[in-house]
Amino acid sequence: MRFYTQQHRFYCGIDLHARTLALHLLDANGRTLLAKSIPAEPATLLDALAPYRDGLVVACECMFAWYWLADLCGEQEIPFVLGHALYLKAIHGAKAKNDAIDAAKLARLLRGGAFPQAYVYPKGMRETRDLLRRRTFFVRQRGQLLAHLVNTNSQYNLPPLSQKLCYAANRDRINLTARFRDPSVQKSVAANLALVDAYDEQIRDLELYLTRTAKVDDPQAYQRLLSIPGVGKVLALIFLYEIHDVGRFPDVGQFLSYARLVRCAHESAGKVKGSGGHKIGNAHLKWACGEAACLLLRESEAAKKWLARKERKSGKARALGALAARLGRAVYHVLRKQEAFDLKRFIGS
C-alpha cells in the first residue's frame, strides 16, 4: 500500500458521483475553508477552487467517473491523487455516513499522510486499455455461450460433440440445432449460436483495430513479450497496457501482488490467520498470466513436463497457479531487464 505524504497549503477531498460532487477543503492546520456540494461540472468546480489554487492538492476515491476529474486537474496543473477504493475503508466505518462526511474524511486522510493511493493511468493510453478490456469481456461472454451449448447437449444426454464449437466451420458442420426435438430448445440453441457468430465478428474487428492502431511507446518491449511462447499480438498489448510502466514496481514481489498471483498472509502474534486481499490488484493481469500459461503449455513440451512434476506434489490447480505466477515473474523481468524470454532458464530456475 502506498500513501500520499507530500505537504501542501490546501487539501481538497472530493466525494465524486456521476452528477454531483461534495467538496471539503482544509488548510495546512486542519481548518475547514470550504464544504459544499456542487454539480459535477468542470467550470463550477474550478470556480469553487479558484481562491485556493496556489498550493492545492485534490483527491477522490477511485470510482467509474474519475477520468474527467483527473484530466481536468492535469490540464489546470493541479496535483491529483486517486484513492484506492478497497483500502479506503476508513470513510465507511462511521455511525453516520453521507457525501459531506465522506469528503471531509478524504481531506483529513490526505492531509494526515494516510491517503492510500491508486495508480492514475495517463490519458491517451487509458482509452486503448479500456478497449482491450472490452474485448476481453466479449471473449468471456462468448465463452459462456459456448459452454451453455455444450451443457445443453449434455442436459438431454445426447452423444458428445465430435468437434469444438469455438470454430465457426465446426458449428456449421455439426448442425447443433437439429440434435434437439423440442422447438423451444432449438430456439434457445439457435439464439446462442447467433450471438456467438456476432461476438466472433466483433472480436475480430476489435483485434484488427487494436493490432493496427494501438500506440506502443516501446516497440522493442512489445517484441520481447512476443518472444514468450503463447503470447500473441493481443495478449502482448494487454500486458503492455495493463502494466504501462514496469518501473512503478520496485521489485518482482510487488508486481506479483499487483497481478493477484501471490497470496498475502494475515498474521497476528506470530500466528497465521489465513490470507486476504483476493480482490485487491489487477484482475486483467491475473487473467492474462493465466491465459498465457495455458497457451505456453500448448507450445512447450518442457513446460508440460514441469507442470506434471508440480501436479504430483501440489495438485493441478496449485500447479497451474504456480506456472501463472512464474510466467508473471518472467514478464516482469523481460520488461525490467530488457531481455528476450529464455525458455530453458524459465523452466530450469
First CA to last CA distance, the chain: 29
Are 17 and 65 in contact, with CB atoms under 8 Å apart?
yes
pTM of the full predicted structure? 0.90
Q: What is the largest CA-CA distance in the chain?
A: 77
Give pLDDT, residue 349: 59
The domain locations on the chain are 3-118, 126-213, 219-265+277-348
Q: What is the pLDDT of residue 49?
A: 97
**Angle, CA of 229, 231 and 235, to the nearest 5°:** 175
Q: % helix / strand / coil in the chain, to the nearest 5? A: 55, 15, 30
Give the whole-angstrom CA distance, residue 222 versus residue 219.
Answer: 5
**Separation CA 16–CA 83 (nearest Å):** 11
Q: What is the pLDDT of residue 156?
A: 93
Angle (CA) 149 155 160, round 5°: 65
Contact assessment for residue 252 and residue 332, using Cβ atoms and an 8 Å cutoff: yes
Beta-carbon neighbour count of residue 119 at 10 Å? 14
- Sign of the CA dihedral running 99, 103, 104, 106: positive
Looking at residue 264, its pLDDT comes to 81
Q: Amino acid identity, residue 173? A: R
Separation CA 180–CA 164 (nearest Å): 18
**pLDDT in single tens digits along all 349 residues of the chain:** 789 999 999 999 999 999 999 999 999 999 999 999 999 999 999 999 999 999 999 999 998 899 999 999 999 999 999 999 888 876 777 778 899 999 999 999 999 999 999 999 999 999 999 999 999 999 999 999 999 999 999 999 999 998 999 999 999 888 899 999 999 999 999 999 999 999 999 999 999 999 999 999 889 999 999 999 989 999 999 999 999 999 999 999 999 999 999 888 778 877 887 777 678 899 999 999 999 999 999 988 999 999 999 999 999 999 999 999 999 999 999 999 999 998 888 887 5
Spatial separation of the C-alpha atoms in residues 120 and 80, rounded to whole Å: 9
User: What is the pLDDT at residue 88?
Assistant: 86
Cell triple for residue 92? 465507511
CB atoms within 10 A of CB 20: 13
Q: Is the dihedral of CA 181, 182, 185, 189 positive or negative?
A: positive
The pLDDT score that the predictor gives to residue 230 is 87
Name, in order, each residue with C-beta under 8 angstroms of 271's C-beta and a sequence gap of 6 or more: none
User: What are residue 271's DSSP bridge partners?
Assistant: 268
User: Is the domain defined by 3-118 classed in CATH 3.30.420.140?
Assistant: yes
